[in-house]
Amino acid sequence: MGKQQLLERLVSRYTPKVANYWGVRKSPISIGVGRLPPENPAAASFQDRSITFNRQWLKRADTADIRGAVIHELTHALGVGDGKTAKQVENMADATRLALNPRETPGWQAPALAQRIAERRGESMTTGTRGNGPTTGRDPRRKRNTQANYMSKVPLLGPGQTFGYAAQAASLVEGYQNALASIRAQQHAIRGQAVAGREAIRADRVAGTAEAESAALATGAVGSSGDLANRAGVVAQAQQSRVALRGETNAALAQQRIAMMQAQTELSSGILGLQADKRLAQIELANQQFMQDQADARAENYQQAYLAALRRILARGKNVNGQDPRSQVQAPGYVDPRRQTLHGGVMQGTYAAVDSTGGNR
């Protein structure tokens, strides 16, 4: 695999990881190779969503340094820190490289501010660990993310899922607001009916009192015990009507308060259900990422072990069968230690593999 193919593979692999690390939207990133100042390994453009790598730098850079530069420039290309100072943006990019580069090139050191940024995000690379789980036993190297550590993080869902949950939550809130508006309208109607009922009772009491006075005047019994009894009866009847009206009003308002509590309960249960569904989707996504990283780690560990064994064989000049190793078909994923380039299974160039018939492959 050439350097261009390596860049494409790394950009494809780390674009979602960088976007998830900073909580920004994942966007397609275009890459290219060109002539840049010697001190610049690469240059990124947020407006164009592109990264240009220094051709001369690529020739001498190792895989770890290329991977780190890809992670650094992806941070810029995805717009992380847009609006901040240049120093802050650079330190954020270095913090991303510090957190996400699984194997760093010797001699690279993150600035102190970048280390603090990475620590605040829970992905610091401290002694014996690179932030993704504690070491075990006497092995000082960083461990891959543990399942518990992955589950403790909250991965970002895709735009479609995020919009779906937001739309459902908005629908629940809208339904609650509509129910609340209907309940308040009914409450106003009940109170209006109560006011009208009190006015009617007052009018009946005034009319009843006037009728009792007229009857007393007609019989000349004004102020008699009979007249007073008639007036007291009118007042008592009005009082009973007011008590009955107050009871009916309170009962109707209590029903509306119950309806309001039911609407609030439905909103709360709906929101909690959405949160549970969203968390379940996030757990499933975290589990998928964990399994993918485990597979990547196994492949990377296999490649490193294969390279170590191959270097020992090449150092002796012969392979385990006593034959020149350059005449053998190499295993998939072979990296020539003198070229540090993946060839996709068969050595190319000066060290081209030879098949069993003796011809070059």
pLDDT given for residue 318 in this prediction: 53
Q: How many C-beta atoms lie closer than 10 Å to residue 100's C-beta? A: 25
Whether residue 8 is found in the same domain as residue 127:
yes
pLDDT computed for residue 266 by the predictor? 92
Q: What is the rounded CA–CA span in Å between residue 226 and residue 26?
A: 93
Spatial CA neighbour of 18 closest among 41, 57, 51: 51
Query: 143, 170, 186 — which closes off a domain?
Result: 143
**Taking 90 as the threshold, does the pLDDT of residue 11 lie above it?**
yes
**Domain interval for residue 27:** 3-143
Confirm whether 154 is domain-assigned: no
Is residue 247 in some structural domain? yes
Residue 300 has pLDDT above 90, yes or no: no
| Token pair for 93 | 């990019």
Q: Is it the case that residue 194 has pLDDT exceeding 80?
A: yes
Query: Which of 285, 306, 323 delimits the end of a domain?
Result: 285
Please check whether residues 31 and 127 belong to one and the same domain.
Answer: yes
Contacts 24+ apart (CB under 8 A), 348-355: 351/326, 353/327, 353/328, 353/329, 354/327, 355/329
CA 157 from chain centre, in angstroms, equals 5
Distance CA 220, CA 235 (A): 22
- Asked whether the beta carbons of 78 and 26 are under 8 A apart, the reply is yes
Q: Could you give the number of structural domains in the chain? A: 2
- Specify whether the CB–CB gap between 325 and 318 falls below 8 A: yes
Question: CATH number for the domain including 95?
Answer: 3.30.2010.10
Same domain assignment for residues 108 and 228: no
> Hey, is 351 helix, strand or coil?
helix
Question: Where is the domain boundary, 97, 119, 143?
Answer: 143
Q: Which residues contact 86 (CB under 8 A, 6 or more apart)?
A: none
Token output for 215: 């009857």
Least confident of 264-273, 307-316, 323-332: 323-332
For the chain, percent of residues with pLDDT exceeding 70: 78
Residue 101 domain-assigned (yes or no): yes
How much is the average pLDDT of 108-119? Answer: 90
Contact 280, 154 (CB under 8 A): no
Q: Please tell me whether residues 137 and 11 are part of one structural domain.
A: yes
Q: What is the pTM of this model?
A: 0.41
Place of tokens 């249960």: 269
Secondary structure class of 258 (helix, strand, coil): helix
Average pLDDT, the chain: 79
- With respect to residue 298, please indicate whether it lies within any of the assigned structural domains: no
Q: For residue 74, tell me if it sits in a domain.
A: yes
Q: Residue 55 and residue 105: Cα distance in Å, rounded?
A: 19
- Is the dihedral angle over the CA atoms 65, 66, 72, 73 positive or is it negative? positive
Regarding whether 174 and 85 lie in a shared domain, the answer is no
Q: Checking DSSP bridges between strand 50-54 and strand 30-34, what pairing results, if any?
A: parallel
Q: Do both 119 and 217 map to the same domain?
A: no
List the beta strands (DSSP E) in 164-269.
none
pLDDT in tens, 150-171: 545 556 677 778 888 888 989 9
Judge whether 335 lies within some domain: no
Neighbours of 24 (CB within 10 A): 16
Highest mean pLDDT out of 149-153, 187-191, 273-277? 187-191
Closest of 316, 287, 24 to residue 159, by C-alpha: 24
Mean of pLDDT values over 79-105: 90
Is 300 a member of any domain?
no
Same structural domain, 81 and 171:
no
Same domain, 174 and 44: no
**Res 256: pLDDT:** 93
Q: What is the mean pLDDT of residues 30-44?
A: 91
Task: Based on the fold, state whether residues 46 and 115 are members of the same structural domain.
Answer: yes
31 shares its domain with 120: yes
Q: What pLDDT was estimated at residue 317?
A: 66
Instruction: For residue 26, give the 3-state DSSP assignment.
Output: coil
Q: Are residues 44 and 109 in the same domain?
A: yes
Examine the domain organization and report whether 65 and 128 are in the same domain: yes
**Which pLDDT belongs to residue 55?**
92
Q: Rounded mean pLDDT of 31-53?
A: 90
Between the alpha carbon of residue 163 and those of residues 19, 117, 159, 283, the distances in Å are 17, 29, 6, 18
Inside any domain, residue 25:
yes
Question: Which range has the worst mean pLDDT, 16-30, 112-126, 219-233?
Answer: 112-126
What does R_g of the chain's alpha carbons equal in angstroms? 40
Buried b (16+ CB within 10 A) or exposed e, 150-169: beebebbbeeeeeebbeebb
